[in-house]
Chain A
Amino acid sequence: MKILLVEDEPALLRSVQHYLESEGYTVTTALTYRQAATKANDYDYDCVLIDLMLPDGNGLDLVRELKQHQSAAGIIVLTAKDALADKLTGLDAGADDYITKPFHLPELNARLRSVLRRRLFGGQACIRAGDLTLWPEQQRVSIQNVDVKLTSKEYELLLFFVTNTDRILSKSAIAEHIWGDAMDAADSHEFLYTHVKNLRRKLIAAGCPDYVQTRYGAGYVFSIRLL
C-alpha cells in the first residue's frame, strides 16, 4: 500500500512515517505544497494524508486538484482546525475523512484502514483475525461462521482492536475513538474497562480464544500470535 504523507512539521512527519511503515505501508513524504503536488502528479497512491496549513499553500487546493484529476487515492485531511465549518469544507472538497490534531496513531490507522477498505474493496471486504471474521459495512462479526451479537459500541471496539493488532492501545486512545466528544465525561477509563470486559465475555462465550489482553498501566493489546 502506497501512502503520500504531506505534513510541514518534520517531527510529526517522522513519527507518523515511522508508525505507518511499521504497519507495513510504503510511505512517501512531502514537506511543502509544491513537493506534494509534484509527487501526487507523478505517482499513484492508495491514500494521501494532507495537512491543511502548509507553508506554501493550502492543503485543500491539493484535495481539489486530486479530485479534478480523478485520482483513485483515498484522501484524509490532517489538521489542527477543528471547527465544524472547516470540516465541512474539507469533506465538500472531496476528502474521504478528516482527522484533527492532536490524534492518536491507532486512531489514524483506524481511519486509514477504513478509507482504504472503502476505496479498494468497495466495502465488500471482510477482515479476518484468528477465528474472527468482521464485515465492516454490515457491522457483522462471526466466529467460525456463527454470528456473534454485539452492541454497536462493542463492535466498534472490536474493529479498533483488530485494526491495531499487536499494538498496545492506551485507554485514552480507545476511549477517544469510541466515545469521541463524550470521552472526557467522567471516568471513561473505568467505563472502558466494563465494555472491554463485556466484549471479551461475549467472544469467549461464542467460542473464541481470548485475544484481548490487559497490559497493566498501559492499556490493552489485541493479538492472535501470543496464544
Chain B
Amino acid sequence: MGYLILSLVFATIGNISVKLSYGFQRVFPSITAFVFIGACLYFLTLSVQTIEVGIAYAIWSGVSIMATTIFGILLFNEKASRRKFLFISFIILGVMIIK
C-alpha cells in the first residue's frame, strides 16, 4: 500500500510538471515530468507485487484522475463546471469497473 501511495504522489507531481513545462518551453519541469512519471510507474510496478493488479490499478487510475482534475482547477484556473465533473466521474467509474 505504501508503494501505491508513493506512486500516486509521483503521478500527481508528474502531471503538474507536465502542465508547467508548457509544451517543452520550460526545461526544468520538462525534465521533472519524465522523472516523476518514471518514478510513478516504477512504484506502481512494485506495488502490484503485493496488491492484486486489478485493485491496485483501479485505485491508482481513479485517484490520479481525480487529483489531476482538482490540481488543474486549483493551480491552473481550469474550469470547475458541473458538466466536467459529471463526465470525468463517468470515465473514473468506467476505468474502475473494468480494472
Do the two chains bind?
no
Chain B residues proximal to chain A, CB less than 8 Å:
none
